[in-house]
Amino acid sequence: MSDREKWASPAPTLNTLFSFLCLLFFVLFFKLVDQSALLYLGLIQLGLFPAYFIGALIMLKNGEMISGNIYLIFSTFFTIVPGLTTVGSYIGGIRGWSLDIGILGYQWLFIGLALAFCIPAFAKASKTFFILICCAAISLIVIGLGYLGIISISMYTFIAGSLLFIVAVLVLYMVIAEILGGANINLPLGKPFFK
């Protein structure tokens, strides 16, 4: 593939959206909004799906196998699927449906463990990126355990909410660093923990 056929990386945009989504979950978990916000959260997640999906396809077209596949997974497990289940939970709550959220616990546990098993692939990444991947994986595992009733709601919302706030800040910092790097302004991201 020639350089003319490649598109610019959508990573800064996708990472900004990811930071925003993590911040929204922090807000929800720390009860800065009430449960009526679930409808908006679900609709926002659904609205982010096209950007993640198209961005993943651009990355895959550019030969970015790891990033493209990660964002393809994001488009499924962080936008459309949870968006639909969040809207469904909201409607179910209004209608008095009895819904077993345990299935969502398995979903979050699975994706958290999958991300955790990928951590060695990021061992040579910057400290900032490595820390945010670890925080993201732990937060997803904790959410899964909470939905399964293995840990209490107050514990999982505090732990996951705190970790997602850290992820949101670190991702946004990385986006700013990448954009400023294009203007030869280099922000430190930290040398890798492992060489």
Phi, psi of 74 (to 5 degrees): -55, -45
Q: What is the pLDDT of residue 66?
A: 83
Q: Tally Cβ neighbours within 10 Å of residue 92.
A: 14
Q: Domain-by-domain residue ranges, the chain?
A: 3-181
Handedness of CA 82, 84, 87, 92 (dihedral sign): negative
> Any idea what the Cα angle at residue 46 is, between residues 45 and 50, rounded to 5°?
110
Check if the beta carbon of residue 103 is closer than 8 Å to that of residue 84: no
- Whether this model's pTM surpasses 0.85: yes
> Distance between CA atoms of 53 and 73, rounded to whole angstroms?
9
Residue 75 DSSP one-character state: I
Q: What's the average pLDDT block by block, 10 residues per block, for the chain (195 residues)?
A: 72 92 96 93 95 94 88 89 93 91 93 91 88 95 96 96 97 92 88 83
Tokens of 88: 């469904």
User: Which pLDDT tens digit goes with each residue over 140-192?
Assistant: 999 999 999 999 999 999 999 999 999 999 999 999 998 898 888 989 888 88
Sequential DSSP letters for 138-153: HHHHHHHHHHTTSS-H
Tokens of 103: 């299935």
Tokens of 148: 């399964």
Check if the beta carbon of residue 167 is closer than 8 Å to that of residue 22: yes
Q: Where are the alpha helices (DSSP H) in the chain?
A: 11-29, 38-61, 65-74, 81-95, 102-118, 127-147, 153-181
